[in-house]
């Protein structure tokens, strides 16, 4: 009974934090389950993927109502994410997990430091009469109390990173938001709130792609997965509401801090030290 | 009606769809958890097969409700993508409708490859 309560708590914390910064929470759930609760790695990854779907769904309910989610950009990037998730196994045959951890850990350290240093640099303001292109969008920023208009740039970069993020998701059981949020924010001119909201919607589809494989192979254990999913749902419900009350700069720093912590974890894992 | 207003309506529809899927999944999983806590002497079995699901539900076995709850949760993002396909088609945004279809095909391939790899 205590173990089930701990699974719920792990899910709650992963869901709350993940939904606040546009991640699925898998980067938190997998290490906690394997290190502290002795859950086998495959069960932990399956639980994490189902948890990511719950985080994505719960967070997206709020973000869609607030009009923050860019549907056209989201579905376009989902193509790359799902292809990446599907081909994760193929790449896994070519690269070791340690090599992947080291490469992405290094990239994420750079991205997190850059986000932290450049957090005050908002996307350039777009005149009200300027065209936003096929993927651009408009939303109302509840904190600043004004309308934000933005065109989307460098879609090819987003698709490339989406492919990689999907691949990592398929390999490690995470949603991939730790790559899609920074690239949308820093590389594609998407404001942080829209990046978090759009990433939240995309994560569900990415995790679904991986979870379908686990389910088809009979690797989803309801005794582990259900408590995690119930905890994640409650946590994500709280986190997505807290997110709209935080300043964009705080949200960016929070994202950068999570990315940095995750990067250190991945580098340590590559060196044979770490949770997994 | 401009594109922003039109897609605000689509966003709200998707929000309701996701909420309904999530609520149903959580209700089923909580029901399964309550049934499991009331049952003594037999632990919850690892997932049952799809063909076993109707019988398990009819017999009020917790496994049936837990598995169905997880299946509904898994189906929710798929339903969202299908709704996007229809939503974009109704707004004559054909390019994005085709992109939504491509995502659905990739999800179907994931399930198929998972079965094949078994």
Give tens-digit pLDDT for B48-88: 667 788 888 888 888 889 999 999 999 999 999 999 999 99
Residues making up chain A, counted from first to last: 276
Average pLDDT of span B2-17 = 83
Residue of B5, B75, B86, B114 to mutate, interface with A, max A Cβ within 10 Å: B114
Give phi and psi for A68, each to the nearest 5: -85, -20
Interchain contact B31–A (C-beta under 8 A): no
User: What pLDDT sits at residue A149?
Assistant: 86
Calculate the alpha carbon distances from B94 to A64, A70, A145, A152, A178 in Å.
22, 17, 34, 19, 30
CB atoms within 10 A of CB A151: 18
Separation between Cα atoms, residue B79 and residue A128, nearest integer Å: 35
Residue of B36, B103, B109 to mutate, interface with A, max A Cβ within 10 Å: B103
Are B47 and A222 in contact (CB < 8 Å)? yes
- DSSP conformational letter for B51: G
Assembly ipTM? 0.89
Separation between Cα atoms, residue A100 and residue A104, nearest integer Å: 6
Separation between Cα atoms, residue B96 and residue A211, nearest integer Å: 25
Give tens-digit pLDDT for A124-140: 556 666 677 788 888 88
Contact in structure between B104 and B85 (CB atoms under 8 Å): yes
Domain ranges in chain A are 2-270
Interchain contact B12–A (C-beta under 8 A): yes
Spell out the residues 6+ positions from residue A266 whose beta carbon is closer than 8 angstroms to its own. A101, A102, A104, A105, A108
Contact in structure between A229 and A11 (CB atoms under 8 Å): yes
User: What pLDDT sits at residue A92?
Assistant: 46
Give tens-digit pLDDT for B10-39: 999 999 999 999 999 999 999 998 998 887
Using CB atoms within 10 Å of the CB of residue A12, give its burial: 0 to 12 exposed, 13 to 18 middle, 19+ buried.
buried
Are B70 and A229 in contact (CB < 8 Å)? yes
User: Scanning every residue of chain B, which has its alpha carbon at the shortest distance from the alpha carbon of A170?
Assistant: B110
Q: Which contiguous run of DSSP H or E holds residue A69? A: none
Are B47 and A71 in contact (CB < 8 Å)? no
Give tens-digit pLDDT for A108-125: 676 677 666 655 455 555
Interchain contact B6–A (C-beta under 8 A): no
> pLDDT per position in chain A (276 positions), as tens?
678 888 899 889 888 877 777 677 777 787 778 767 878 777 888 888 899 899 889 889 988 998 899 999 999 999 999 888 877 655 544 556 566 566 666 766 766 776 666 554 555 556 666 677 788 888 887 677 778 888 888 999 999 999 888 887 777 777 788 788 889 988 898 998 899 899 989 989 988 888 887 787 777 888 889 999 999 999 988 887 777 677 666 766 777 777 777 777 767 766 776 554
Q: What is the pTM of this model?
A: 0.84
Separation between Cα atoms, residue B47 and residue B70, nearest integer Å: 10
């Amino acid at each position: 009974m205590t173990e089930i309560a701990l699974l719920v708590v792990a899910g709650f914390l992963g869901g709350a934090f993940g939904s606040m910064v546009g991640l699925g929470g898998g980067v938190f759930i997998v290490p906690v389950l394997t290190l502290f609760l002795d859950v086998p790695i495959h069960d932990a990854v399956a639980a994490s993927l189902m948890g990511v779907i719950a985080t994505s769904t719960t967070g997206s309910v709020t973000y869609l109502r607030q009009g923050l989610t860019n549907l056209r950009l989201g579905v376009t990037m989902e193509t790359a994410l799902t292809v990446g998730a599907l081909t994760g196994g193929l790449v896994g045959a070519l690269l070791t997990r340690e090599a992947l951890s080291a490469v992405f850990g290094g990239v994420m350290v750079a991205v997190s430091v850059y986000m932290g240093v450049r957090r005050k640099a908002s996307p350039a303001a777009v005149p009200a009469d300027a065209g936003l292109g096929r993927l651009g969008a408009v939303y109302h920023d509840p904190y600043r109390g004004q309308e934000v208009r933005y065109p989307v740039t460098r879609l090819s970069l987003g698709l490339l990173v989406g492919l990689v993020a999907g691949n990592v998701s398929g390999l490690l059981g995470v949603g991939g938001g730790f790559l899609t949020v920074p690239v949308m924010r820093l590389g594609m001119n998407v404001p942080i709130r829209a990046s978090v909201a759009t990433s939240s919607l995309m994560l569900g589809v990415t995790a679904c792609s991986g979870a379908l494989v686990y389910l088809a192979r009979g690797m989803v254990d309801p005794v582990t997965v259900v408590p995690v999913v119930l905890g994640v749902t409650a946590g994500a419900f709280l986190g997505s509401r807290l997110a709209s009350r935080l300043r964009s700069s705080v949200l960016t720093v929070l994202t950068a801090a999570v990315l940095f912590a995750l990067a250190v974890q991945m580098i340590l894992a590559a060196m044979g030290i770490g949770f997994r | 009606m401009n594109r922003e207003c039109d897609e605000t309506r689509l966003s709200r529809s998707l929000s309701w769809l996701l909420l309904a899927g999530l609520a149903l999944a959580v209700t089923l999983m909580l029901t399964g958890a309550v049934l499991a806590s009331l049952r003594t002497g037999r632990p919850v079995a690892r997932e049952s097969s799809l063909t076993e699901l109707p019988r398990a539900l009819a017999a009020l076995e917790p496994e049936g409700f837990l598995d169905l709850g997880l299946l509904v949760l898994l189906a929710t993002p798929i339903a969202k993508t299908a709704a996007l396909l229809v939503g974009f088609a109704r707004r004559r945004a054909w390019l994005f409708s085709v992109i939504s279809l491509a995502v659905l095909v990739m999800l179907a391939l994931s399930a198929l490859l998972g079965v094949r790899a078994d």
